[in-house]
Structure 1
């Protein structure tokens, strides 16, 4: 059905079709590029975590769960690229549409939950060094990770309980004065799972940076590297999650104000920033290297040529003198702010 732009009500517009074919064809190729880079990268990370680094022995269960979350995202990219390439923002198949949206909700929620938990752990290790760190106890238990996943599952319920137009109908039911509860709850989940964790992340990072700046022991270069460790999560969060959140708020504003022309532009900006947010599956491995030098050394010795292994391994981003062996036998230096 063609898009009827001259109609006055949103109910006559096919919202599943893209407002600009060229834009979405470009986005489809970008997503395929993310998929072709993300799949082998995350497979290699998974191999190292399981067979070389043995994450369950090195207290890196939370990092491993971020890898699992990234696989949920990578699995969705070919289907989304296919729909964009054929002029559709979402699948017209209700089951496929709901499944994809649920997986994306779950990926985003899991990535944020485990990244924030790691940041809180570093906050206690640095700012409240010597006090009991309950996060350190929790992250050693696989059961806690399972509980986090189970707690995230209810967030996908709004995507499953009813059929809504093109998986995205908030603000379009003009015949009723109130928004549908399901659609409203879905939007509340979308915003709160990003805004609240970001506030926590900024608070923890500021306190950690201030604490590190006050330290008088150690070389300044090492302290600067430690600051980069705690800032890496903020950078990934700011690039992957915040821009699309702002764009989503603008999009909903135009939709609720019934400004169709502006909404068409906002939709393209929002979808473009969402495609940009999918690079978290490419950036997260950098976080693993910053957070745990043992993983970094294991990855380098597994996949990098011998000629550059020594140079990369010597470029540590950590402090301290604690020695932790990896499966490959390479030494690993750690500090209280590094996940050991």
Structure 2
């Protein structure tokens, strides 16, 4: 670990002179972000094209999925800057505005994905547990678009402070782009960071678990509708419940646990630099899991939507048949 002697630590405050030796980021983050970029970008683009092409038969779940794919696509477009940054040893040459924008897009995608997945899960819960109720059918797609507009407003309001706190700085004679905030603003960032975790992750996660507990009880009951259509709906709901829960556990839970621990430690007076570095490494090591939701979301979509899963296969068959006819002619 190195020390930055250009800053001064105030008495009774957490240390601001620590400069972490984070060589693992050069080895870990560029390859992971590259995989997310080359897979997430085309997958989410294909989902947007497919849903827009079938807009006449658009369901409310499809509306939420479209907005989820849009959030993932916007985040994937920011990854080239991060790939270059970490490949160059945490050197940020793109300026302060780009730094703030990239950090904002990451957290907007993260919390937007959480809320849109929660909306999809709640819609599936209503379809299974309250299939005949009229109160949740009013408005149709228009109501879904209004919910999506509200989600974007909430996410923007939640994540806009990240663009305020994020900034560039100088460490080891090079410009860096701070993820959360500069070390001198650690204590000021703590209340916002904790509130973002509670409001942007813990509350939606609790709501999702409540929906899936009710959904599981309903699926396990034997007095529901019978027949192949009802069984298909039950199986579809069960698959979505399992996959969405897996996305939350894999992508979101480790990131928020380590982030919360790091925020608490770096704002605590008397913590030594090696301890800070260990918690920082644990937190930054889970960032790839959070970024992976841009790939897991479209996989979730194709896994649970059979009609869309068939379309790429049908398109490939048509193109293959057309190419064979030309070759035969």
TM-score range, shorter chain: 0.7 to 0.9
Matched with 1:245 is 256
Matched with 1:284 is 297
Contact 2:51 2:58 in 1 (8 A): no
Contact 2:190 2:267 in 1 (8 A): no
Contact 2:40 2:76 in 1 (8 A): yes
**Superposed CA offset, 1:72-129 (max 9, x none):** 2211222112111122287783212211111112111221111111111122222233
Matched with 2:175 is none
Partners of 1:197 and 1:135 in 2: how far apart? 22
2:201 equivalent to 1:194: yes
Q: Which has the higher helix share?
A: 2
Partners of 1:306 and 1:37 in 2: how far apart? 22
Q: Which of these residues, 3, 15, 26, is aligned with residue 28 of structure 2?
A: 26
Contact 2:190 2:263 in 1 (8 A): no
Return the offset for 1:281: 1.5
Return the offset for 1:228: 1.7
**RMSD across aligned positions (CA):** 3.2
Partners of 1:79 and 1:56 in 2: how far apart? 38
Aligned pair count? 297
**C-alpha spacing 1:183/1:57, structure 2 compared with 1 (3 Å):** same
Matched with 2:323 is none
Contact 2:244 2:300 in 1 (8 A): yes
Return the offset for 1:45: 2.1
Contact 1:61 1:140 in 2 (8 A): no
**C-alpha spacing 1:247/1:183, structure 2 compared with 1 (3 Å):** closer
80-89 vs 213-222, which deviates more? 213-222
**C-alpha spacing 1:156/1:45, structure 2 compared with 1 (3 Å):** same
**C-alpha spacing 1:285/1:163, structure 2 compared with 1 (3 Å):** closer
- Larger relative contact order, structure 1 or 2 (CA cutoff 8 Å, min sep 6): 2
**C-alpha spacing 1:3/1:121, structure 2 compared with 1 (3 Å):** same
User: What is the DSSP-based 3-state SS (H/G/I as helix, E as strand, rest coil) of the residue aligned with 2:3?
Assistant: coil
Unaligned runs of 5+ in 1: 308-340
Matched with 2:327 is none
Return the offset for 1:234: 1.2
Q: TM-score, normalised by structure 2?
A: 0.78
Matched with 1:330 is none
Q: TM-score, normalised by structure 1?
A: 0.75
User: What is the DSSP-based 3-state SS (H/G/I as helix, E as strand, rest coil) of the residue aligned with 2:81?
Assistant: helix
Matched with 2:159 is 156
Matches within 5 A, 1:29-44: 29-44=31-46
Unaligned runs of 5+ in 2: 10-14, 170-177, 321-329
Matched with 1:54 is 55
